[in-house]
Amino acid sequence: MSETHAHSAAFVRTAILPPAAPPPGQTGVLRWMRENLFSSIPNALLTLLALYFVYTILAAILPWTLNGIWDAGSLTECRAIRDERGLSTAACWAVINERWLQLLFGFYPIDAPLLARLFYADELAAAGGMDAVFGPGSNATARIEFVGTMRAELGNALVFFFGYWRPLLALALLVVAVAPVLYNNLPRGMLIFSLIYPFLAVFLLWGGSIWGPISVALGLALSLYILKYAGARFGGLLGGLAMIVTLLCFFFNPLSLLGISGLFPLLPHVSGLLGTILPFGLPAITSDDFGGFMLAIIIGTSGIVLSLPLGIVLALGRQSSMPLIKWVCVTFIEVIRGVPLIVWLFTASLLLNYFLPPGTNFDLLLRVIIMVTLFASAYLAEVVRGGLAALPKGQYEAADSLGLDYWKSMRLIVLPQALKISIPGIVNTFIGLFKDTTLVVFIGLRDPLGLTNAIRATGEWNGIYWELYVFVALLFFVFCFFMSRYSMYLERKLATDRR
Amino acid sequence: MSDAQAALQDREINRSHMTVSDEIAIEISNMNKWYGTFHVLRDINLTVNRGERIVICGPSGSGKSTLIRCINALEEHQKGNITVDGTVLSTDLKNIDKIRSEVGMVFQHFNLFPHLTILENCTLAPIWVRKVPKREAEETAMYFLEKVKIPEQANKYPGQLSGGQQQRVAIARSLCMRPRIMLFDEPTSALDPEMIKEVLDTMIALAEEGMTMLCVTHEMGFAQAVANRVIFMDQGQIIEQNEPKAFFNNPQNERTKLFLSQILGH
Ligand SMILES: Nc1ncnc2c1ncn2[C@@H]1O[C@H](COP(=O)(O)OP(=O)(O)OP(=O)(O)O)[C@@H](O)[C@H]1O
Ligand SMILES: [Mg+2]
């Protein structure tokens, strides 16, 4: 680099600079505080004011929370302990400690025979054995007393894991079923389980013969097969018609108008036949016994899973160029959205029976799930429509110009992008739906809030509010927070169009 | 004369496959189109033989885009007939999808699918429309990506590519359907001069292979180099059409003369 070269240009770089590390950081706590908290006098004042607010709030909440009393049999005992310790405020967490199972599961019955066999065998033998206590002709009062003492002695933890194994297993399997849908780096084969799961969950939660859910699954599979087979042979319209006829014959009684019953629906015949060949089942539990946070999860997840496809169909229908389809979708969306959810829930609980054919006994929980689904799908349709509208026209044209038909271009090009744009709105609707499940308390279902009333109605816990509400709030918060975090993860993962 | 035009003149063009056959690829007769009450295209008559390379030019708003978008039914015409590859364009959706899969189209703004990789962009239509097995579709896609000289970008997303690269992918994506006709709607007008050259090079290579091409473009260098016919449109009508040499050196219509003087800066 010593001699001067005969360059024609004034400057020519001969050596390329190696990449350098960025300048040493904006590190140091003090520096950060100076820049972010005290950068100017007004900012410093605002910081101090905010700190003061945070302090007052914590000063009110923390002692109450942390001094909380966990071991007490009633509110009066709680207060006595508090005064004894000389505390001015203290939460009475004992109510949660004692009643958390009820808040989670409502009056869902525990599997008492299993618990007795596993952990209470000696006492069971003393009481006369399995058949004497739980058998058909056994004394109900004696049984209730036996179960009561057993629960008290075994403690909540054992009862939770073994008494409620059915809902717990359903929840654990729900996680397994949902995982491949949420995270696409899991093996695709797991999706088969996701398809089976709904029937399995119904069996676990409601019990009864296993052939009931299996027959429903068979009926649906048969209808789909007929749609595919007849569709391929006789064209889409006839295929659809054949499927509808199959569905009607299997699940409803198309001859009821003629007053003929007994032959249709085919469903009970099929499941009855299978049940006599190979009887297997769990004790049946009716929807009336469902309650607690479990109820919120059941209504919430069913609503979420069912409303998304329906919402997408409605959004596409609203954009359709066929006036009839468009008109039906618009009317549906506007009517459902324009009326409060609570009105629809009352409709579900009171009015729906008048519109249904006489004799159909439609489970209240199922009706609520349908209503919640319809309600959420109307909102989702509008959210998805926003995503569809935000997509540049060029995307539709490029898909068209490659010869993709309507459904393929929707499925492969338009919806993946439109749904991605709509993720925040979709998750927002889901969170709303999940929290709205507490409204079912007004039509007599025992949601967690309804159960707080039931707990307060007992002599021991009369007059307790905050502790129960905090617990319920926490349960909901955990779920909603997961959903919101997941949506952020998804948005980040799908961000391919930015560099 | 722009840089891109100068660059084109350096290039030796291989004309051995540029043959025009007697077979008719596109026939448009008495075609009219209205947007509402606005008469965009008026009595268009145009016959394109297989192997022809046609450049369409004209002032903004003259209906060039509308004309070529009618050919693959992105726009509906109201009167007259369009026959593509022997199939008369009707409102039947099956018929339209068939024509679209035979006719490739390249847009001004590329219109790549941003949620799919370059390779997926290229294999999507062959797999779902032509039912080609995935492996085979990927091989074809790589073949055409090599042709447009960006095989190394196959696993990137469109957002990670430059404009010129994106447009070349768009061309490759159309070619993967093995179309018999290619339509270009101002493929270079959203690009910087350097990128214009890459895209024009790709288009020339396509012309050299004997592809039937209809290009809306204002790249007159391209027209002179490969077109066998230049069409001038104004106010929804075809005003003049001729071989490039005669068209540029000896325009007949006053409006053509005016347009050429503006665009060539004479
Ligand atoms: N969707 C539409 N609705 C109504 N008028 C339209 C529509 N699209 C185009 N037009 C009008 O039709 C005429 C022709 O449009 P077209 O896009 O075909 O012009 P062009 O020759 O391609 O112009 P450019 O060189 O600017 O692209 C223009 O006057 C335009 O305003
Ligand atoms: Mg145009």
Of all protein residues, the one whose alpha carbon is nearest to atom 24 of ligand 1 is B60
| CA pair distance B106, B108, nearest whole angstrom | 7
| B85-133 pLDDT tens trace | 888 888 787 888 889 989 999 999 999 999 999 999 999 999 999 999 9
Q: pLDDT under 50 in chain A at which residues?
A: 1-3, 499
The percentage of residues in chain B with a pLDDT greater than 70, rounded to a whole number, is 96
Q: What are the φ and ψ backbone dihedral angles of A55, each rounded to 5 degrees? A: -65, -50
Residue in this structure with the two tokens 């003049």, named with its chain if needed: B240
Q: Which is more confidently placed, B5 or A78?
A: A78
Predicted local confidence at residue B50, as pLDDT:
93
Q: Does B157 touch chain A (CB under 8 A)?
A: yes
Of all protein residues, the one whose alpha carbon is nearest to atom 5 of ligand 1 is B35
Q: Does B91 touch chain A (CB under 8 A)?
A: no
Ligand 1 lined by B63 (C-beta under 6 Å):
yes
Contact B157 A494 (CB under 8 A): no
Q: What is the three-class DSSP state of B74?
A: coil
Q: Give the pair of three-digit tokens for residue B239.
A: 């005003």
| CA pair distance A494, A483, nearest whole angstrom | 16
Closest CA to A309 of A497, A212, A181, A216: A181
CA distance B100 to chain A (A): 5
- Identify the H or E element spanning A72: none
Mean pLDDT of all residues belonging to chain B: 90
Q: Taking CA atoms, what residue in A is nearest to B130?
A: A403
Residue type, B104: G
Query: Which of B93, B109, B177 is the closest to A402 by Cβ?
Result: B177
CA distance A492 to chain B (A): 13
Averaged pLDDT for residues B48-72 = 93
Decide if B159 contacts A496 (C-beta within 8 A).
yes
Q: Does B78 touch chain A (CB under 8 A)?
A: no
Rounded (5°) CA angle A188-A190-A192: 100
Decide if A486 contacts A182 (C-beta within 8 A).
yes
Ligand 1 atom with minimal separation from the B66 CA: 18
Averaged pLDDT for residues B259-263 = 88
Residue in this structure with the two tokens 């709105």, named with its chain if needed: A425
Predicted local confidence at residue A499, as pLDDT:
41
DSSP sequence for B46-66: EEEETT-EEEEE-STTSSHHH
Q: Residue A395: list chain B partners with CB under 8 A.
A: 111, 113
Q: How far is the CA of B67 from the centre of ligand 1 (A)?
A: 10
Decide if B140 contacts B132 (C-beta within 8 A).
yes
Q: What is the pTM of this model?
A: 0.84
Q: Does B26 touch chain A (CB under 8 A)?
A: no
Q: β-strands B229-234, B237-242: how paired?
A: antiparallel
Mutation target among A321, A395, A401 for the B interface, most CBs of B within 10 A: A401
What is the ipTM metric for this complex?
Answer: 0.92
Question: Cβ contacts of residue B59 below 8 Å, gap of 6+?
Answer: B234, B259
Predicted local confidence at residue B126, as pLDDT:
95
Predicted local confidence at residue A185, as pLDDT:
78
Decide if A429 contacts A379 (C-beta within 8 A).
yes
Ligand 1 lined by B60 (C-beta under 6 Å):
yes
CA distance B261 to chain A (A): 33
Q: Cβ atoms within 10 A of the Cβ of A64, count?
A: 16
Question: Cβ contacts of residue A167 below 8 Å, gap of 6+?
Answer: A105, A108, A204, A205, A294
Q: Side-chain half-sphere of A397: how many Cα atoms within 13 Å?
A: 18
Q: Residue B129: list chain A partners with CB under 8 A.
A: 402-404, 408
Question: Cβ contacts of residue A192 below 8 Å, gap of 6+?
Answer: none
| CA pair distance A316, A20, nearest whole angstrom | 52
Q: Taking CA atoms, what residue in B is nearest to A497?
A: B159
Which ligand does the CA of B56 lie closest to?
A: 1
Ligand 1 pocket test, pick from B66, B78, B259 with the greatest ligand atom count within 8 Å of Cβ, gives B66
Which ligand does the CA of B233 lie closest to?
A: 1
Query: Which of A392, A394, A400 is the closest to B100 by Cβ?
Result: A400
Of all protein residues, the one whose alpha carbon is nearest to atom 16 of ligand 1 is B63
Q: Give the pair of three-digit tokens for residue B123.
A: 């294999």
Contact B100 A413 (CB under 8 A): no
Alpha helices in A188-291 (DSSP H): 190-206, 211-234, 236-251, 267-277
| A459-488 pLDDT tens trace | 888 888 899 999 999 999 999 999 999 999
Alpha helices in B79-219 (DSSP H): 93-102, 118-128, 134-147, 163-175, 193-208
Which ligand does the CA of B69 lie closest to?
A: 1
Decide if B25 contacts B99 (C-beta within 8 A).
no
Ligand 1 atom with minimal separation from the B67 CA: 18
The percentage of residues in chain B with a pLDDT greater than 90, rounded to a whole number, is 70
Decide if A201 contacts A209 (C-beta within 8 A).
no
Predicted local confidence at residue A132, as pLDDT:
81
Ligand 1 atom with minimal separation from the B69 CA: 18
What structural domains does chain A harbor?
A: 28-66 (no CATH), 69-108+287-492 (1.10.3720.10)
Q: Does B112 touch chain A (CB under 8 A)?
A: yes
| B169-216 pLDDT tens trace | 999 999 999 999 999 999 999 898 888 998 999 999 999 999 999 999
Closest CA to B141 of B173, B109, B166: B173
Is the torsion defined by CA of A228, A233, A235, A240 positive or negative? negative
Q: How far is the CA of B186 from the centre of ligand 2 (A)?
A: 7
Ligand 1 lined by B217 (C-beta under 6 Å):
no
Q: How far is the CA of B62 from the centre of ligand 1 (A)?
A: 7
Predicted local confidence at residue A22, as pLDDT:
65
Predicted local confidence at residue A25, as pLDDT:
57
Q: What is the three-class DSSP state of A481?
A: helix
